[in-house]
Amino acid sequence: MIVVLIIGILMAIAVPNFIRARENSRRNTCIANLKQIDAAKEQYAMDQKLATGAAVAMTDLTGASGYLKSTPACPSSGTYTVDVVGTNPTCSLSASPNLHVLP
């Protein structure tokens, strides 16, 4: 009985920490993807001589253009929006509690 109690206490401590660590890892991966998208967008804008505010789509950055090998996917199933030149790309999970947003 005592062994079961000790295992229960350990599980009560370990499981929330594991879930928090997993979400932090997903958030960091999403932020890294946003940084890649932003770098590819800025490189595309310089190569195409686009002005600030010009529209850029994800299809402009992937495929034969070579700025991104493939379309990145948010590990928490969010969706990315490239936005216009001069702004940061966004993830649909940018609101609290997820905070998938570039710093």
Considering the domain boundaries, does residue 83 fall inside one?
Answer: yes
Considering the domain boundaries, does residue 99 fall inside one?
Answer: no
Nearest to 60 by CA among 31, 89, 29, 26: 89
Considering the domain boundaries, does residue 77 fall inside one?
Answer: yes
Considering the domain boundaries, does residue 97 fall inside one?
Answer: no
Considering the domain boundaries, does residue 100 fall inside one?
Answer: no
Q: Is the pLDDT of residue 31 over 90?
A: yes
Considering the domain boundaries, does residue 79 fall inside one?
Answer: yes
Instruction: Tell me if residue 51 falls in helix, strand or coil.
Output: coil
Q: How many domains does one find in the chain?
A: 1
| Mean of pLDDT values over 21-44 | 95
Neighbours of 37 (CB within 10 A): 27
Q: Is the pLDDT of residue 21 over 90?
A: yes
Considering the domain boundaries, does residue 102 fall inside one?
Answer: no
Question: Domain of 63?
Answer: 2-91
Give 100's pLDDT tier (boundaries 50, 70, 90).
confident
Model confidence over 39-87: pLDDT tens digits? 999 999 999 999 999 999 999 999 887 899 999 999 999 999 999 999 9
Q: Tell me, what's the pLDDT at 99? A: 87
